[in-house]
Copies of this chain bind each other. A is one copy, B any other.
Amino acid sequence: MTDILRLKMLIAYDGRPFRGWQSQATKDAVQDHMEAAFAKTIGGRVVVHGSGRTDAGVHALAQIAHADVPAARLEVSAWRGALNNFLPPEIRVLRVSRAAPDFHARFHARGKIYTYRMWNASYLHPLEIGRAWHMPSKLDLDILRQGAQMLEGKHDFAGFAANRAPGYAAEDTVRTIQHICLTRRGDLLNLRFEGNGFLYKMVRLLTGTLVRCAQGRAELTFIKELLAGKGAKKTSFAAPAEGLYLTRVLY
């Protein structure tokens, strides 16, 4: 019987060249590139389990994934170099360690931190192209903070979830957001979301809706209604993918 080694990986990627994390028929997702790098390293199929999906264009500073490999093939310390050797430069495995045999990148995650970057000035700085949402209009940061405070805590966030393609099982849409933290440094606005989990497109819908209020184009009562409606009412204001970063997975 082959001894199996479970690897835990810390992965960073620039989201722009890829169709999100989750494997695609077109094989241009981050997971596809990861699995191809494993296949090239050991010549057999390896399934890579991420902590969760990121959409097309969304960046990751610290995605976590696990995969099982035959223990005899490579030292744990050799995997990082082997995988990076076959990965495109826009995906880098920053760390590889031995995980417990029952460690699961998705099921064991007890929370996540996402960061959303906005460039709040008339013109987008050229070094922020593809890395921040360009927001030329004036924002009322007090409103933004008040809205963020309303979203903190345990709520049914169905009003802040995009519908999945048919075929997905109905999902429990109750989540807890521990903190939403707003910081400003010059023209750069940063929204940091820490929660026990996020629904499909939820961070982008939260950000887009908060910004809508901070622009004065929606009232804060809109957020109250979305939370109370439990999905009866949905927001359609999604911030674009390029400003979003998966910043940390909590175990």
Contacts and interface: CB of A to CB of B under 8 A. Distances in A.
Interface in A61-92: 61, 80-81, 84, 89-92
A13 interface: yes
A14 B91 contact: no
A92 B14 contact: no
Interface stretch (A126-134, A147-155, A206-214, A216-224): A126-134
* Most B CB within 10 A of own CB, among A91, A125, A126: A126
* Most B CB within 10 A of own CB, among A93, A127, A131: A127
Nearest to A90: B126
Contact of A89 (B90, B93, B124, B131): B124
B12 A125 contact: yes
A107 interface: no
Contacts of A92: 123-126
A59 interface: yes
